[in-house]
Structure 1
């Protein structure tokens, strides 16, 4: 599996710009910020490129010039959100750092990202009847969660090679790690019923318990 490539906003801008003069990166970021807010507030179908342009303080032509269409903009917004919450630097190999410390660092950042109000609202939108049977959930997956899982799997590969972990399938283990972190608390947040009831752990306690369970399954004995 190829390691994750560091996300850089200028890379995406250069691809969108094509030949000729580079696009204005400040405008691009303003468009991304506006789209992330509007997609969460109104949903994908209800947001128009005119609204995004107005909220970003640019022309609609500028929006199309950077992103081409609304679906491309949606994918870029997801990628940007994940890159801000889980930057590529988080998955860099730092062999001198103990494996549990590295896992705690990644797990803490991931849980903070998925439990943010914006992420919860976006998750609800993707599960709505209007989008559930469309190709947008797959677009979301490829632009965000897939990127995070691939980056973590590459980090696990390095720790397996160093003899610190015993994992036959790091892609599967990566999926298990993030699924474990989401767990019941994330489902309760999506449903709007908090984290009460039988499972009432503080985020830090929940994250530590998940990391320790993962290490019991895959740590070298």
Structure 2
């Protein structure tokens, strides 16, 4: 068994080693998430991650190249997991009244869940020093959602259901209306995560206001 473990450590490209290496990658990321959220980037050491994961320093460097690479991989993966349910194909051809309310509810529920709030706090704290982290977060999360909305709004303009000169501006405006002060208050810990009824009521009013101005 020890010889197999050593072979996995030394050859990450070996086909037989990949499942075990992927399991170790998962363990590193889970351990890193706990450490970074508890201690922040500066306060977390690779020894912390290794102790929590049970892996080795050699494997960690093979997989991530070091602490910053581990952090960037964690941010990218977690943001994609948080925002990954937003797909454009399911929106095509459907009227705004059917699309925007459930999309808005899902978006607000997503960004105010504890996992997302923790990731927002972590990224905001570290992105000034590590621009790549902020860019990765933006591309995988908020920008992806705005791109989806921009494409949908552009399609609705062609169908004549919405009057928008800049679908991209409209996408940013709609997302901004949803976020409002609510998300900032949650990130800062000034209030509890909103419940389903509050989210649905908020989204209903925002969709009404948005569509009143877009028609």
Pick closer, same or farther for the CA change 1:212–1:71 going to 2, 3 Å. Answer: farther
Aligned to 1:41: 38
The answer to whether 1:207 aligns with 2:206 is no
Larger mean CA deviation between 177-186 and 112-121 belongs to 112-121
The equivalent position to 1:104 in structure 2, one of 98, 101, 106, is 101
How far 1:183 sits from its partner (Å)? 0.7
Aligned-residue CA RMSD in angstroms?
3.2
Looking at both structures, which has the greater relative contact order when contacts are Cα pairs under 8 Å and sequence separation is at least 6?
1
Aligned to 1:190: 187
The equivalent position to 1:54 in structure 2, one of 35, 51, 54, is 51
The answer to whether 1:181 aligns with 2:178 is yes
Using structure 2 for the length normalisation, give the TM-score. Answer: 0.73
Q: Distance in 2 between matches of 1:141 and 1:150?
A: 12
Q: Distance in 2 between matches of 1:90 and 1:213?
A: 24
Pick closer, same or farther for the CA change 1:56–1:169 going to 2, 3 Å. Answer: farther
Bigger helix fraction: 2
Q: Distance in 1 between matches of 2:83 and 2:124?
A: 23
Which structure has the larger Rg over C-alpha atoms?
2
Q: Distance in 2 between matches of 1:158 and 1:53?
A: 49
How far 1:127 sits from its partner (Å)? 4.1
How far 1:93 sits from its partner (Å)? 4.0
Aligned residue for 2:119, secondary structure, equals helix
Q: Distance in 2 between matches of 1:73 and 1:155?
A: 35
1:75–1:143 CA contact under 8 A, matched in 2: no
Residue-pair matches, total: 198
The equivalent position to 1:75 in structure 2, one of 72, 77, 96, is 72
